Homo-oligomer: A and B are copies of this chain.
Amino acid sequence: MTEVDQMDNNGGTMVSPAWAESAFLKACRCEPTDYTPVWLMRQAGRYMKEYRDLRSKVSFLDLCQRPDLATEVMITAVERLGVDAAIIFSDILLILQPMGMDLEYVAGTGPVLHNPVRTVDHAKALMEVEPAESLNYVFEAVKATRAALPPHLPLIGFAGAPFTVASYMIEGGGSKNYRYTKQFMYCYSSAWHDLMALITRATVKYLNGQATAGAQALQLFDSWIGCLSPADYQTFVFPHMQHLFASLSADVPVIHFGTGNATLLKQQREAGGDVIGLDFRVDLSSTWDQLGETAVQGNLDPCVLFADPEVIQQKSKLILDQVRGRNGHIFNLGHGVLPETPVDHVIELVDYVHNQSTKN
């Protein structure tokens, strides 16, 4: 592990922490690495027995809001899997509570917002978020997780991107067609932009706060952006994303992730981010070629983890072979680990990626 000397604010030298030279952060900077770093979206979750055991005693919301438990869950996952980065245990919708939204996680259904934003008045009633007050428990979770991790492992903070968060607010939960979201966007476009600006302001403070609290990288989840046409993305989303990325003052790399968004990737890349997250619907190497100079993260289909180990290896090898010799690839799934995924398959995947990509 190389240690890099840097000048501190007083002109003296200080030693960088070990994570600065981790494979994950090097890949974020498109620097050469000894092996391909790997972590998995939703790497701590229901597919893991330790997680289910804990969740049998505590609600999902309580788990997110208790820094000690959030830390325990993530540390357990990172240790079991041997991944190259941790991500705080949290949820993209927590930011909605301090806006005045009634958030509940319903077993078998997922998140429900009991007071969906369907009118301009609903949107006007939303409150400005001061994460330092209302979301301080997340910053505490960042600090606690960082303190519990070994120094060579970077910690990722995250937030939902404004469109994805807005879609939950307006639909009142998950959606198939995003009918109410788009109706709001088309019919109340001024209120839409105000809503996006409100979420963007909150998200900037929230992400900068996570970096200050100890996160070494950030990920923006624009998970449902793929329901938009390129023209609608440009009009209704792009300016907010561009402003968001420009407002992230913290000197940490940002991963910009979406799904079903093949037709939007160039615009998303232009909006910002050091690493572009790619879902499993795109061909990794040709898409990377189109995006140009950037790091990329992805893109194994999470469903592959239900297959036999030979298939998992074959599919992972295809990805690794495609980008062999290029700097800036972080191995991940194209979306989160699915609930019933066999945990042994996940462990084997991480091992395989490390072994297969190690440069001799």
Chain A positions within 8 Å of B, measured between CB atoms, are 177-179, 182-183, 186-187, 226-232, 260, 262-263, 280-283, 301-304, 306-308, 311, 318, 338, 340
Contact = CB atoms under 8 A, between A and B. Distances in A.
Give the interface SS of chain A, mostly helix, strand, loop or mixed: helix
B229 A281 contact: yes
Nearest to A284: B229
Contacts of A303: 177-179, 182-183, 186
B179 A231 contact: no
A283 B267 CA distance: 13
Contacts of A226: 260, 281
Contacts of A304: 182, 186
A5 to B, nearest CB: 44
A306 B183 contact: yes
19 contacts: A177-B303, A177-B338, A182-B301, A182-B304, A182-B307, A183-B303, A186-B303, A186-B308, A187-B308, A187-B311, A226-B260, A229-B282, A230-B281, A230-B282, A260-B260, A262-B263, A262-B281, A263-B281, A263-B282
A177, A186, A283 interface centre (most CB from chain B within 10 Å):
A186
A183 B263 contact: no
Q: How many copies does the complex hold?
A: 2
Contact of A281 (B183, B187, B260, B306): B260
A229, A232, A282 interface centre (most CB from chain B within 10 Å):
A229
Contacts of A301: 182, 229, 232
Given A263-B262, A303-B179, A283 B186 contact: no
A269 to B, nearest CB: 16
Contacts of A262: 262-263, 281
Given A182-B304, A186-B306, 14 more contacts: A178-B303, A179-B340, A182-B306, A183-B307, A187-B308, A226-B281, A227-B281, A228-B281, A229-B282, A230-B281, A231-B283, A260-B260, A262-B263, A263-B282
A283 B179 CA distance: 20
A354 to B, nearest CB: 23
Nearest to A308: B187
A45 B282 CA distance: 34
Contacts of A232: 301
Contact of A263 (B228, B283, B308): B283
Contacts of A340: 179
